[in-house]
Amino acid sequence: MNWTLDQLVTFVTTVDSGSFSAAARKLGRAQSAISTAIGLLESSLGVSLFDRSTKIPTLTNQGKSLLPEAREILRQCDALNNQALILGQAEVGRVTFAMDEGLPYPPALALLSALAKPYPQIELNVLHGSQENIVDWLQTNQADIALGFHRKPVPPTIESVPVSAVPRIMVCGHEHPLAGKPKIQRRQLARYRQLILSPNQVDEDEEERISPQVWRANSLYAVAELARLNLGWGVLPVNIVQYPTLDGKLVELSSTDLFFPALEVRLYWRSGQGESEVLRWIRQYLQTNRFTHIA
């Protein structure tokens, strides 16, 4: 068997992306290259991984059986590479820290300020983005450690621990028809446009979608600004509602039959980074310093 790691990456990416064409876009390759890599992998393994008799290829029973094995091989390869990177570092050097753009700023800045004391010579690079950005940056080695809201499951190559949670509330602008109503029911909310955070695909928000009228944005601050302009109602973390430029410009809505759970905040890192000195320090810091939305 002469299969390669690149072929396994192509196989797993194709499954996760949903089609050969989507995998080609994600990997930056031609669709023919994806088909060729899958074909070579099938030939090397001696099994058919995909049923191509339908418009969109689906996994065969053999493909379903081999998929977990392929994921585990790639996870172990990532762990090996990450551990080698750590062992090859004579000192802390450069660290890239990614943060969710919607996180409360005070505790995040307090963390970075505290980090500068034991590591005054560290070269720190800070990135801001969505959970999807953060996971992508970790997987492609563009980030070493990340802190962000946990909205959906992450790949098995990414490890994480919970550190806190931030409450969410329903809001709208002061001149919105819903403003001032004492208790609002789901059917009333459904009459007005809903503002939703949706970084990528439009079907990611179905779980919390209430209104048939929806506007989407890839930033929590954009959702807040649209609500401020009375263009709809939305659900936001309290730290966004209390942000200096937004404080007092949004109205909190109360509901009799709806509850939106708090957003869990998690610390993320690549598998195999358990011995990273900075990661170990950050984990210890977050265990003794509560990451709270309250300034």
What is the model's pLDDT at position 41? Answer: 93
For residue 90, the surrounding DSSP H or E stretch is none
What is the model's pLDDT at position 200? Answer: 59
pLDDT at residue 97 tops 80: yes
Do 279 and 147 fall into the same domain? yes
Locate 130 and state its tokens. 């969505």
Band (295; pLDDT cuts 50, 70, 90): very low
- 293 within domain boundaries: no
Which CATH number characterizes residue 69's domain? 1.10.10.10
For residues 134 and 112, give the distance between their C-alpha atoms in angstroms, rounded to a whole number: 17
First to last CA, the chain: 58
What is the model's pLDDT at position 90? Answer: 42
Residue 163 carries which side chain, given as an amino acid letter? V
Of residues 182 and 237, which shows the higher confidence score? 237
What is the model's pLDDT at position 193? Answer: 96
- Do 239 and 166 touch, CB atoms closer than 8 A? yes
What is the model's pLDDT at position 229? Answer: 97
Do 14 and 37 fall into the same domain? yes
What is the model's pLDDT at position 258? Answer: 86
For residue 163, the surrounding DSSP H or E stretch is strand 158-166
Structural domains counted in the chain: 3
What is the model's pLDDT at position 204? Answer: 52
What is the model's pLDDT at position 279? Answer: 86
DSSP state of 204: G
Please state the rounded mean pLDDT for residues 228-234: 96
Which tens digit of pLDDT belongs to each residue from 115-151?
A: 998 888 888 999 998 888 899 999 898 999 999 999 8
Do 178 and 244 fall into the same domain? yes
Which residues span the domain enclosing 152? Answer: 89-166+263-288
pLDDT at residue 1 tops 90: no
Do 161 and 278 fall into the same domain? yes
Whole-structure pTM value? 0.66
Number of neighbouring beta carbons within 10 Å of residue 176? 22
